[in-house]
A = this chain, B = another copy of it.
Amino acid sequence: MDLSRAAAEAADATDPLAGFRARFTGTDDDGPDRLLYLDGNSLGRLPRETPAAVARAVEQEWGQGLVGSWRDWVQQSGRIGDVLAEGVLGARPGEVLVGDTTSVDLYKLLVAAADARPGRDVLVCCADDFPTDRYIVAGVAPARGMTVREVEAHIDTGLELDVLARALDERVAVVVLSQVAYRSGALVDIAEVTRLAREAGALVVWDLSHAAGAVPADLTAAGADLAVGCTYKYLNGGPGSPAFLYVRRELQEQLRQPIWGWFGQRDQFAMGTAYDPADGVDRFAVGTPPVLAMAAVEVGARLSAEAGIERLAAKGRALTELVIALADEWLGGHGVAVASPREPARRGSHVSLAHPQAWQLTQALIDRGVVPDFRTPDRLRLGPAPLYTRFVDVWDAMDRLRTVLGDRSHESYPTERSRVT
């Protein structure tokens, strides 16, 4: 592998997604001191179309259209859901809905799934999964007299299927699992896990937060039953943007989620006496979705769909491959170890590097115009988002990291964590 900057420039020159970069703000500056944003796996960049789309929702739809705009707004959750279904998730129309937070959506689907497996009293989750996933499971289990069975995953390489398989038996009702692990970026095979769970009679609720827009989920092909995910990372929907949920069409009528709100009601504005859940995926809605935030989600979702998830994933593999190769070449001597799967098909679009002073390195990089993030206990996480990150951006960011490690300037930073990422 040619690790020269010229090779990175050459990769950008033939990148089929190169044109998408200009559709995000903050990408004009091409100078040597420009900001190198490698935290799109935490909060994606702002698409250039978004300010106008949000302003239109605020000024025309709300300001002028007032309540009359509900004619369109009631379509929003399903319309954006269909964009994600077709363009990003490999699902069918009418299977995805946008609204609520990832945590609330996970709670709804987890309870619905547990209800659909009466007599089973175990919920399985991964000991190294993202906190909110583990916390939601930890809260649901005791409230239902169930117990949690945590499966161990390797902090760098993720969950092994045989470890999961050993945890599955006739007591397991539901498995909650992330497709891409938030720290290491390790990717699990949705089809294989779904098959294992189904053999054991359990349902899986997938968390696609660190995967959606970066790697294909191929939910229909994989036979996946249930999933949730966030839209503010690779889908560039904005800070705290509403999440999505997916329910396989054939399961929708069998499931009932626990929060019976009026947006899940059949013929909602008849305001009937008894709760009667709507047909299809709409029954998984609860309250009034935040329309202004949804306008931003729609722009982001359409951008990823336009780029195509296979092209995004291919570029993500190439970008992270470059991170790993440069880390091996330049940083091994400085105590940096790659803490993500080395096999491209086993990871998402971010890479973690382990270093005892990862927190200080994060601060030093931020002061040098590189935005990564820190993850406990000692990880520097780099997320080159395929829509707007170039190969030269990765090269330059790694070069700045090499410089920091070389001059040891990170050692002057305090050790305590005080920054919110």
Which residues from chain A sit less than 8 Å from chain B, CB to CB?
25-26, 37, 39, 42-43, 45-46, 50-51, 54-55, 57-59, 61-64, 66-71, 73-74, 100-104, 107, 127, 130-132, 134-136, 138-140, 143, 230, 232, 238-243, 258-265, 268-275, 286-294, 296, 371, 373, 375-376, 417, 419-421
Contacts and interface: CB of A to CB of B under 8 A. Distances in A.
Nearest to A61: B239
Contacts of A102: 287-288
A92 to B, nearest CB: 26
B63 A58 contact: no
A67 B42 contact: yes
Contacts of A417: 269-270
Q: Which 8 A-B pairs have the closest CB atoms?
A: A101-B287, A139-B260, A103-B261, A103-B287, A239-B291, A290-B293, A46-B63, A132-B262
B238 A58 contact: yes
A420 to B, nearest CB: 4
Contact of A136 (B63, B71, B260): B260
A127 B271 CA distance: 12
A259 B103 contact: yes
Contacts of A62: 43, 46, 238-239
Given A376-B270, A421-B269, A261 B101 contact: yes
B67 A290 contact: no
A289 B272 CA distance: 30
Contact of A290 (B103, B132, B242): B242
Contacts of A275: 134-135, 138-139
A135 B58 contact: no
A63 B421 contact: no
A263 B274 CA distance: 33
B51 A67 contact: no
Given A46-B62, A67-B39, A262-B103, A292 B375 contact: no
Contacts of A260: 135-136, 138-139
Contacts of A131: 262, 265, 268, 271-272
A23 to B, nearest CB: 13
B51 A58 contact: yes
B238 A292 contact: yes
Nearest to A272: B131
Contacts of A74: 420
Name the residue among A139, A263, A274 with the largest chain B CB count within 10 angstroms.
Answer: A139
25 contacts: A25-B59, A43-B70, A51-B58, A51-B63, A67-B421, A70-B421, A74-B420, A100-B101, A100-B104, A104-B104, A107-B258, A107-B286, A131-B268, A132-B261, A132-B262, A136-B259, A136-B261, A139-B259, A230-B288, A239-B290, A240-B287, A240-B291, A240-B294, A243-B287, A269-B420
Contact of A54 (B54, B135, B258, B269): B54
Given A104-B287, A238-B292, A51 B55 contact: yes
A52 B263 CA distance: 30
Given A103-B286, A270-B376, A286-B104, A238 B67 contact: no
Contacts of A271: 130-131, 375-376
A67 B54 contact: no
Contacts of A291: 238-240, 293
Contacts of A270: 376, 417
B101 A286 contact: yes
B67 A58 contact: no
Contact of A55 (B39, B55, B238): B55
A73 B240 contact: yes
Contacts of A55: 51, 54-55
A386 B69 CA distance: 23
Contacts of A375: 271
